[in-house]
């Protein structure tokens, strides 16, 4: 027998939405309409739940915004770096993994929105800078492992990180085959 709406609510939580569900939805709203669109009531409606569900996970909108940045950094940067670093493979394969993962799964899809948010919010700007530094440091380290000087590795890392940011923001989603071809072209370009 189906439960009523009140029975599905438990301590203000409905349909077992996780904090991650809220954060993902908030990032999508940020990406579609900017930070001003990231508000409790519209998100509740988008997710098909009451505002009480929001307050099960967050104290207020400010906490949601800060946790969005933490989630974005952790899930779309730290996880990729950790997975690539854990590969028992040469640095070239780790680099290939990063490029493929970022392009195929559009790991930079929120970067433009977060960068725009950072134009008037110090916390978002700080997060963006930290994430870009992490990405460039990791890629530069792989390139140094492949024999490039620190200066050359850093410049190549800047090109690659910039390319991946623009690819997700400006270029229509590619097929897995097209992404694999792009990855190989990136590797060829970077290792020249």
Q: At which residue do the structure tokens 């997710």 appear?
A: 47
Contact at 8 Å (CB) between 21 and 47? yes
Q: Are residues 98 and 127 in the same domain?
A: yes
Whether 2 is covered by a domain: the verdict is: no
DSSP assignments along 122-180, one per residue: HHHHHHHHHHHHHHHHHHHHHHHHTT--HHHHHHHHHHHHHHHHHHHHHSPPPPHHHHH
Domain that holds residue 78: 71-190
Q: What is the pLDDT of residues 90-130, one digit of tens each?
A: 999 999 999 999 988 889 999 999 999 999 999 999 999 99
What was the pLDDT predicted at 2? Answer: 40
Whether 53 is covered by a domain: the verdict is: yes
Is the pLDDT reported for residue 86 higher than 60? yes
Q: Are residues 101 and 175 in the same domain?
A: yes
Whether 125 is covered by a domain: the verdict is: yes
Q: What is the pLDDT of residues 13-56, one digit of tens each?
A: 445 799 999 999 999 999 999 999 999 999 999 999 999 999 99
Question: pTM of the full predicted structure?
Answer: 0.86
Q: At which residue do the structure tokens 């709203």 appear?
A: 29
Is the pLDDT reported for residue 63 higher than 90? yes
Is the pLDDT reported for residue 12 higher than 50? no
* Residue 184: CATH number of its domain: 1.10.357
Q: At which residue do the structure tokens 């140094």 appear?
A: 144
Whether 66 is covered by a domain: the verdict is: no
Number of domains in the chain: 2
Q: How many CB atoms lie within 10 A of CB 18?
A: 11
Whether 64 is covered by a domain: the verdict is: no
Q: Are residues 82 and 173 in the same domain?
A: yes
């Amino acid at each position: 027998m189906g439960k009523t709406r009140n029975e599905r609510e438990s301590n203000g939580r409905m349909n077992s939405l996780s904090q991650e569900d809220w954060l993902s939805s908030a990032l999508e709203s940020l990406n579609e309409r900017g930070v001003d669109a990231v508000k409790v009531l519209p998100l509740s409606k988008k997710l098909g739940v009451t505002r009480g569900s929001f307050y099960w996970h967050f104290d207020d909108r400010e906490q949601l915004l800060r946790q969005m940045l933490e989630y974005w950094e952790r899930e779309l940067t730290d996880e990729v770096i950790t997975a690539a670093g854990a590969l028992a493979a040469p640095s070239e394969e780790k680099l290939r993994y990063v490029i493929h993962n970022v392009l195929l799964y559009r790991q930079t899809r929120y970067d433009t929105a977060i960068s725009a948010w950072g134009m008037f919010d110090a916390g978002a700007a700080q997060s963006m800078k930290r994430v870009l530094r992490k990405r460039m440091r990791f890629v530069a380290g792989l390139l140094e492992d492949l024999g490039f000087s620190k200066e050359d590795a850093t410049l190549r890392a800047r090109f690659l990180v910039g390319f991946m940011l623009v690819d997700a923001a400006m270029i229509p989603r590619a097929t897995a085959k097209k992404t694999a071809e792009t990855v190989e072209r990136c590797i060829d370009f970077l290792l020249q």
